Structure 1
Amino acid sequence: MKPHVHHLKKHNGFRFFFIIFLLVSYFTTYSVTEAATSDRKAPTAPTNLRTTGITSSSVSLAWTSSTDNVGVTGYDVFQNNKVIGKTTSTQYTVNNLTANTTYSYFIKARDASGNISSSSNIIKVTTPKVVTDLAPQVGNIQVSPIASDGKTVSGTVTLSVSASDDKGISKVEFYSSNGGYLIKSLTSAPYSVSWATNPWVPDGEQILKVVVYDTANQIAQVSRTVIVKNTVSAVQSAYKMVGYYTSWSTYSNFQVANIDASQITHLNYAFANISTDGKIALGDSWADVEKPFSGDTTTQPYKGNFYQLTKLKQSYPNLKTLISVGGWTWSEKFSDVALTDQSRTIFAQSCLDFIRKYGFDGVDIDWEYPVAGGEPDNVNRPEDKQNFTLLIKKIRETFDAQSAVDGKKYIVTIAGGAGRSFAANTELNLLQQYVDYMNLMTYDFHGEWDTLTGMNAPLYRDPESKFTGEWSVQDAVQLYINNGVPANKIVMGMPLYGRIFNQVTNLNNGLYQSYSGGGSSISYANIEANYLNKNGFMRYWETDSKVPWLFNGSQFVSYDDLESIGYKTSFIKSMGLGGAVMWELSQDPNKVLASKIYNDLK
């Protein structure tokens, strides 16, 4: 008898099926787990890790987020290959660092399942040495406007910087190209500057830098990386906004870097001279091509203002620059240059060679004046009237021939006198077909050459003027139109200066009175700083001429202000003129009048 055999068989069968069940469950669970694990993907790595601030004990970091934004729950911050912090934002400040020490950093992203991305780019940062008097602490560069992603900008932007110790700041410098180009240097608050993004770096990174100096000449700096789109950055306007910049401005510390090219379409550099062999020549070789400059260590065939203009155009590539030839002082050789076909050919070719060598877009001929007038040593001939036309025609033909070769548009303009004599001594109806436009010098209507005080640039005639044959801006514009110049080729002069007369007879608030001494020009900046509402000066308004003047019982100042500029820009629009030309930019360094012109005509 074999008891329990049946029971043992049942037990063994059960055990067999139980083992099979465990094995199936194990492999099914493993398969599901393995599949779930294989479906999980690590987030993409953060990019563009950079510093936004460095002190002797801290480093502020910022980076571009992982593209797997849905799954990412945070970021791990690595210092010297060790995790030192975790954050859910794309910024992190590391504190308690040692001065004068180098640290390396990278970032990794992580998701809710614990997956870790590969590392971002690695950066190395050296904390500065500790000094007794701490360098000024600089806030982040503010870039406005900023797109919705917080970093992509295009067109003209505004940079501003805040410093914790404004009273101790001696200078703030704004740079683009990671310090390669000085945008502007400011010595007083507010520390803000307009700047155009550089389309020569298409859809790429541009690093903007601010350097702050305190009164002990210690330096703090902060950089901001901005992702820019390839867009046009210069002024886009139906009107031309032309500004003259003079070579001598550099000696009064108004440099090319101080020019706000966001508010002008054309920049005329004044002046080039004419050599004894009838060619265009440098007017001031030191200022033009020899002057040392800061902010760029690139070796160039020339330096000075001309090189700075080429750098300015890199930030404002739609800006056109022209070299102005002659002017009041250097017009004595124009008659000889224009005399024969050979002399005209030599001069025209020299102009083309000059602008191509130094990076200009055209030439502005400022002959003061054909046939008669100008400096006593000027050469004048009756045939200047016809020869002036032939000279401009030759320059146009020479430039156009080059355009056919390289496809570049070269500009030809003239600066034209605003009086009847200039119209009588030129062929305006013929000249106009060879120029892109004419800069009409509608200023200096009255000055030290007169026996009475008068307005520098009256928009309209004053019926009560004490001058015989009174003249105005309106008269000059209409004169050009009547002589065959299309209105849209007339760019109307806007003086950024006034004229001051001394020892004026105290009648009629100084207007149309005799004087002793004066008539000299005075910049708007000087007027604003030292005359407006100061030293007993009262502002008066000439209702007919639409211009103001100042008088304190002895000194008379004729000038333009925001109100008169408003009337003039309205006149430009109503007449369908080509735009405004400002003489000259250094006289309005704070851009009070220049900004009014820009805002009215943009």
Structure 2
Amino acid sequence: MSICSVNAWSAPGAPVIAWMPTEYTEGTAIPVNWNMWWGENGTSWVLTSNNSQVCAGDLTPNGNNAQMANCTISASAGTHQLQVVLSNAAGSSASAVKTVNVLSGNGTPPDPQPIPDPEFVEAPAKPVIAWMDTNQSAGDITVSWNMWWGVNGSSWTLESNGSEVCNNTLTVNGNNAQHGSCTVNFAKGSYDLQVLLTNAAGSTASDIKSISVGDAGGGVVGSSETPLPTDYSSPGLRRHKPYSNTTNSVVGAYFVEWGIYGRNYQPAQIPASNLTHLLYGFIPICGPNQSLQEANPSGYSALLQSCQGKQDFEVTVHDQYAALDKLYPGDNDAQDYKGVFNQLRRIKLANPDLVIVPSVGGWTLSDPFYYLDNAANRKVFVDSMVEFLKTYTFFDGVDIDWEYPGGGGANADLGKESDGETYVTLMQDLRIALDTLESETGRQYQLTSAVGVSPAKISQVDYAQASPYMDYIFAMSYDYYGAWSEDLGHHAGLYPTASAIHEGFSGDETVTNLLAAGVPAHKLAVGVAMYGRGWKGVSNMTSQDPFSGKGGGPISLTMNNGHWEAGVVDYFRIVQEMLGGDPNSSGVNGWSAGYDDSAKAPYVWKPSTGELITYENGKSAKTKAEYVRQRGLAGTFSWEIDADNGDILNAVHEGLGHPQE
């Protein structure tokens, strides 16, 4: 059956050119992908470069469903403005212009292009009101907007409930971005805000942003709009000291949902102003989760309850009480949600530059990733991730913790050679979705990923393909050795020792391997462990060095004050119980403290029982941070913040060269 005609009621929905690098070298094939997510379909499309057609194709309409296509072009050195035009019988719609620079073969940048004089043949591109909390206190409120690319305006106005409340003129600058802001005094009430961008050809309005304004100092929903600043004088902050991040290095840390229980570590204890990235672990994916079922049956039951009414491969919250329902001081039932999520919302208000991202996956929650090679499953996941960010607006992106593409994770039955390709495609799809969400909200969303660091795991992923879609890659440069094996070694050592059992099991080797695999140095963050790993019954030593022996299983410690998994000991407990409260002591209670200067790694050893713990301390963390600066890397991140007494994060800042405030 052939299609003879198409009745189009209106021109097609606007196409969007997918994310792509902004620079290429002459002679390089340049892939260009575009999508039209929803709207009247087109029957044909063309791609132009500097207004000249370079690709074209026909399309089969399918109602209002998404359309997409791609082609590969080559371009001479210079600046190229790419645009997709989607057409049907009723007309055409054009994408925003995507500008790429093609460098000459010797890497010489193209000559700068002159900015044309404005010719107001069409109204300006659509402005977007920047992210703002939708619940505000009465008083001065700043409203900002952006127009990322397109026809410029010569003036703009902000309207509240249809009445103008401020305006200003603009300097026209080709098709480059424009932005503005103003501060308005709002009384208690509800307001629909809209920005109009205007030139001689007309005006274009933003989407409406609705806000609720409550009593001054009180707000309409209690603590949800009250900032939660870091109080370094609080005993809950342990030994943390405030630092100024003068190098703009990444300083990240994971905060775990379950830490609010046995560890009694609450969000107010997070040294948020000392961080650039706060990663919330973990957000699960509905569907096949055998690893969780076997490791944590009660956690699996909670996940099944949270997934009721959801599709497989949608994200959800795991512990609804912890995330959304737990009452913290100042909370009340009028809030849209309470719990840790509201605490994070308040932390964001106090630290607007802090990037807070939900980390999806983790050791026992990675099973669903292996099924995302199916495009339909992947779309459900990506779409649900976008909805999650729209619902919990304090989050600033997505962190993917797939342990691990290719296998070797909690479920020994999962893992295949094509997982690396799935990982790259997943990053591409997430980047496209986040870029589209950015155009709707005016915010920026980061895409990060925690990655395996052994040579075998690094080889599973083509990071040269994946990294262009990602903001940062967090190398989990710890857990090189542990009590799952009798092999002894430093679990977070920076350098290999002369007697190292496994090649590639050190921070320096990991960094070298990831850089060689295509990860840009400025996107690579090195992991700092805030815990130790230990063995019992170490025997068969060939020297006084305990690492010359063999381990006899995970260390056995009483289950209190920071011991939560066999063979794992929190840093603060090592300091309290093995070092007598002084991280620089030689050891107490039969423990002897040591430091391997070749590996840049500390350990404690109890000869009478054959117990050995390898860990990180302030000295090793500072050295690792200094290494990060020397190699021009993005920064550091830590697992996990509740295990530190402040020593390690303080030392990271010292190593990065940050002055104490």
Give TM class, smaller chain.
0.5 to 0.7
Match of 1:66 in 2: none
The size of the alignment, in residue pairs, is 388
SS at match of 1:280: coil
Match of 1:272 in 2: 283
- Hey, what's the Cα distance between the residues in 2 that align with 1:319 and 1:562? 24
Residue of structure 2 aligned with 1:331, choices 362, 366, 378: 366
Distance 1:571 1:235, change over 3 A: closer
Q: What are the Cα deviations for residues 367-416 of structure 1, in whole angstroms up to 9, with x where unaligned?
A: 00112210126632322111111111000000101112221101111111
Distance 1:301 1:194, change over 3 A: farther
Q: Check the 8 A contact 1:291/1:305 in 2, yes or no.
A: yes
Q: Check the 8 A contact 2:479/2:492 in 1, yes or no.
A: yes
Unaligned runs of 5+ in 2: 1-221, 288-311, 556-566, 580-586
Residue of structure 1 aligned with 2:430, choices 375, 395, 403: 395
Match of 1:149 in 2: none
Distance 1:236 1:187, change over 3 A: closer
Match of 2:631 in 1: 575
Q: Check the 8 A contact 1:185/1:258 in 2, yes or no.
A: no
Residue of structure 2 aligned with 1:425, choices 454, 460, 471: 460
1:587 aligns with 2:643: yes
Match of 2:495 in 1: 460
Residue of structure 2 aligned with 1:482, choices 507, 512, 516: 516
Compare 275-284 and 386-395 and name the one that shifted more: 275-284
1:510 aligns with 2:521: no
- Hey, what's the Cα distance between the residues in 2 that align with 1:511 and 1:424? 28
Q: Check the 8 A contact 2:256/2:640 in 1, yes or no.
A: yes
Match of 1:244 in 2: 254
1:404 aligns with 2:439: yes
- Hey, what's the Cα distance between the residues in 2 that align with 1:177 and 1:193? 26
SS at match of 1:493: strand
Residue of structure 2 aligned with 1:300, choices 327, 335, 340: 335
Q: Check the 8 A contact 2:486/2:553 in 1, yes or no.
A: no
- Hey, what's the Cα distance between the residues in 2 that align with 1:192 and 1:526? 14
Alignment of 1:54-203 (within 5 A): 181=228
Match of 1:133 in 2: none
1:344 aligns with 2:378: yes
Match of 1:550 in 2: 604
Q: What are the Cα deviations for residues 10-42 of structure 1, in whole angstroms up to 9, with x where unaligned?
A: xxxxxxxxxxxxxxxxxxxxxxxxxxxxxxxxx
Q: Check the 8 A contact 2:257/2:322 in 1, yes or no.
A: yes
Match of 2:532 in 1: 498
Unaligned runs of 5+ in 1: 1-174, 196-232
The residue type paired with residue 544 of structure 2 is N
Match of 1:564 in 2: 620
Distance 1:378 1:313, change over 3 A: farther
1:523 aligns with 2:561: no
Match of 1:440 in 2: 475
- Hey, what's the Cα distance between the residues in 1 that align with 2:348 and 2:419? 36
Q: Identity, % of aligned pairs?
A: 29
Q: Check the 8 A contact 2:533/2:569 in 1, yes or no.
A: yes
- Hey, what's the Cα distance between the residues in 1 that align with 2:240 and 2:228? 14
Give the superposed CA RMSD. 2.7
Q: What are the Cα deviations for residues 417-453 of structure 1, in whole angstroms up to 9, with x where unaligned?
A: 1111222211111110000010100000000122132
Deviation at 1:524, TM superposition (A): 0.7
Q: Check the 8 A contact 1:180/1:296 in 2, yes or no.
A: no
TM, length-normalised to structure 2: 0.56
Q: Check the 8 A contact 2:536/2:552 in 1, yes or no.
A: yes
Q: What are the Cα deviations for residues 263-291 of structure 1, in whole angstroms up to 9, with x where unaligned?
A: 10010000010012111121222211121
Q: Check the 8 A contact 2:484/2:554 in 1, yes or no.
A: no
The residue type paired with residue 655 of structure 2 is D
Distance 1:180 1:269, change over 3 A: closer
SS at match of 2:327: coil
- Hey, what's the Cα distance between the residues in 1 that align with 2:443 and 2:577? 46
- Hey, what's the Cα distance between the residues in 2 that align with 1:575 and 1:363? 26
Deviation at 1:296, TM superposition (A): 3.5
Distance 1:384 1:190, change over 3 A: closer
Residue of structure 2 aligned with 1:366, choices 401, 414, 425: 401
- Hey, what's the Cα distance between the residues in 2 that align with 1:306 and 1:240? 23
Deviation at 1:178, TM superposition (A): 12
Match of 1:50 in 2: none
Distance 1:300 1:382, change over 3 A: same
- Hey, what's the Cα distance between the residues in 2 that align with 1:424 and 1:193? 38
Distance 1:310 1:192, change over 3 A: same
Residue of structure 2 aligned with 1:288, choices 317, 320, 323: 323
- Hey, what's the Cα distance between the residues in 2 that align with 1:435 and 1:452? 35
Distance 1:177 1:357, change over 3 A: closer
Distance 1:302 1:502, change over 3 A: same
Q: Check the 8 A contact 2:537/2:553 in 1, yes or no.
A: yes
- Hey, what's the Cα distance between the residues in 1 that align with 2:344 and 2:408? 33
Match of 2:217 in 1: none
Q: What are the Cα deviations for residues 223-245 of structure 1, in whole angstroms up to 9, with x where unaligned?
A: xxxxxxxxxx9856421001100
Distance 1:293 1:184, change over 3 A: farther
Q: What are the Cα deviations for residues 293-350 of structure 1, in whole angstroms up to 9, with x where unaligned?
A: 11344722211111100011111111110000000010001011x2133222221111
Distance 1:345 1:298, change over 3 A: same
Distance 1:463 1:470, change over 3 A: farther
Q: Check the 8 A contact 2:224/2:345 in 1, yes or no.
A: no
Distance 1:563 1:300, change over 3 A: same
Q: What are the Cα deviations for residues 484-514 of structure 1, in whole angstroms up to 9, with x where unaligned?
A: 1111110100001111211222652422312
SS at match of 1:548: strand
Match of 1:450 in 2: 485
TM, length-normalised to structure 1: 0.61
Q: What are the Cα deviations for residues 112-167 of structure 1, in whole angstroms up to 9, with x where unaligned?
A: xxxxxxxxxxxxxxxxxxxxxxxxxxxxxxxxxxxxxxxxxxxxxxxxxxxxxxxx
Q: Check the 8 A contact 1:538/1:550 in 2, yes or no.
A: yes
SS at match of 1:511: helix
SS at match of 2:619: helix
- Hey, what's the Cα distance between the residues in 1 that align with 2:250 and 2:489? 29
Distance 1:558 1:180, change over 3 A: closer
- Hey, what's the Cα distance between the residues in 1 that align with 2:227 and 2:435? 35
Residue of structure 2 aligned with 1:257, choices 252, 262, 268: 268
Structure number with bigger Rg: 1
